[in-house]
Chains A and B, each alone.
Chain A
Amino acid sequence: MYTRIYFLRFPKETSDQPIIYYLVKRYDVEFNILKADILPQREGIMIIEFKGNRENIREALSYLKDLEVQVERLAGKVSRDDEKCFQCGACTGICPVGALYMQRPEMAVLFDPDRCSGCGLCVTACPVRAMTVSFDQVVVEEF
């Protein structure tokens, strides 16, 4: 499963259209709205997490672009403090994309930032708060 978080800026003209509905119906992407601020006849913004097949998400994003929705990938920078982490493994049962995983047979807990979707679930699941997410950076990506 491919999970990414996007920052969408909707032009005024689109605010009365059921865009998200089409995303689900036509492109079969699961979504989770993390933040939304949309008012009729005004520019709206939304932070949304998409889950699904990579190709479908790509098509969904180009559909949004055709509607002149501005799309930016929100790459929350997730990092692990290796001094704090005591390699327990609790986070590996929580991470939905396998970015935190066990290396067997040593049972070392590894973190692969490239696989990380920035969902933040590990932050409070880690008993010693070794994982941190900062959403300060917005990475603009080409699709």
Chain B
Amino acid sequence: MSEYTVNKSYAEINARIRAGEAVVATAEEMIDIVREDGPVAAARRIDVVTTGTFSTMCSSGAFFNFGQTTPTIKAAKVWINKVQAYAGLAAIDIYLGATEPAEDDPLNKVYPGEFRYGGGHVIEDLVAGKTVLLEAKAYATDCYANTKCKKELCLADMPHALLCNPRNGYQNYNCAVNFSDKTVHTYMGTLKPKCRNANYCSAGELSPLLNDPLYRTIGLGTRIFLGGGIGYVTWHGTQHNPNVLRSSGGTPRQPAGTMMVQGDLKQMSARWLRGVSLQGYGCSLAVGLGVPIPILNEEIALFTGVSDKDIFTQVIDYGHDYTNRIQRNYGEVSYAELRSGQIKVAGKKVPTAPLSSRVKAVEIAETLKRWILDKKFQLGEPVAHFPTADFSLDDKE
């Protein structure tokens, strides 16, 4: 499909958004549109498809510049509400990671630990407008004489705050089970022994990268819904790996692409950035993320028409295999099966539970759609694309 029947540019779509004429569908609505009208007619009619996902996303955090003290300080060690931030950047620039637990946290000493408060919770508290306690230690220099400081401040007092997540929005993820004979507490939730439950974590047909499986439109500079505000895709995320097994429709059948995203924390909302405590594992941040996909041609329309029955993932054992890096799977299941509440693993019926919120994913896709229809949000055209895989729909048909 080198020549497309429909050819639209970002500029044309943005002009239609400004004129209030753009036709927008959520990724959920697009499934029926493509099935009923076919990809060419769908591409002619629909300008943008909105996606969404809301779940725990490790590899998140924020840069802060916390403002100078008198006398000045070159902070070497910094804590916010007893959660340590990385201070080896400059005088008062710090990076606070979402999975950093509070310094006095008992961790897993009493197993499974609760991990009540960490970096993700600090970010949520700040965005909620709460006052936090910042403590810093430093060595003195001629230009920075202060050796310690302690101050209460809120987000508005910080000269600069940037949410900066090196890896978000995993394109597909494992379905986790536990074949060992004891309960395990993992980042994929609590897994009962002898494969008595299965957890999965993807927005499936609503997930950004599953609607643009080969990264044709999502790239550096894509404007997105991030934490309730506006953010950008700024690089492919860490562990981005396009070269995995794919379905005939192009979607990966195992974890593949990822995005690095960032945006001004001050315009975000605590509804869409939530500190989380994963029992026995640690702290993190749940991030609301939504990406608009411009329907430039019929191929992209076809991609965005993907539904849960066409998206597959691998069943992986987190009781033994994952920790020991054993490459083995216990079969493949579709997201339609996972959503039904029951899958079959090794011939046995196993109940499933999601970790990613479908309800919130739909709400994000709807919000982004409304922003575009209200002319509040225009598409960002990528200035560079993610590394992708050699894949063509034609080869498979």
Contact = CB atoms under 8 A, between A and B. Distances in A.
Interface residues of B, number: 31
A105 B348 CA distance: 23
A89 interface: yes
A105 B276 CA distance: 26
Interface residues of A, number: 21
Which label, helix, strand, loop or mixed, suits the secondary structure of the B interface? strand
A67 to B, nearest CB: 35
A124 interface: yes
Contacts of B278: 127
Interface string A124-139: 1101110000000000
B359 A125 contact: no
B55 A88 contact: yes
Given A104-B339, A104-B340, A86 B190 contact: no
Contacts, number: 72
B94 to A, nearest CB: 25
B20 to A, nearest CB: 30
A108 B359 contact: yes
A89 B286 contact: no
Contact of B359 (A94, A107, A128): A107
B276 A127 contact: yes
A74 B232 CA distance: 52
Given A92-B353, A127-B56, A87 B114 contact: no
A124 B359 contact: no
Contact of A106 (B354, B355, B359): B359
B274 A90 contact: no
A93 interface: yes
A102 interface: yes
Nearest to A121: B190
Which label, helix, strand, loop or mixed, suits the secondary structure of the A interface? loop
Contacts of A102: 341, 353-354
Given A90-B199, A92-B353, A93-B353, A124 B358 contact: no
Contact of A87 (B190, B197, B277, B359): B359
Contacts of B116: 129
A78 B268 CA distance: 32
A89 B355 contact: yes
Given A93-B199, A106-B358, A106-B359, A128 B276 contact: yes
B154 to A, nearest CB: 21
A93 B188 CA distance: 12
Contact of B190 (A106, A108, A125): A125
A127 B277 contact: yes
B339 A105 contact: yes
Nearest to A124: B279
A86 B286 contact: yes
Interface of B: 54-56, 112, 114, 116, 189-190, 197-199, 274-279, 286, 339-341, 351-360
Given A92-B353, A127-B286, 19 more contacts: A86-B286, A86-B357, A86-B360, A88-B55, A88-B357, A89-B357, A91-B353, A93-B189, A94-B353, A104-B339, A104-B341, A107-B354, A124-B112, A124-B279, A127-B278, A128-B275, A128-B277, A128-B286, A129-B116
6 contacts: A94-B189, A102-B354, A124-B114, A124-B277, A127-B276, A128-B275
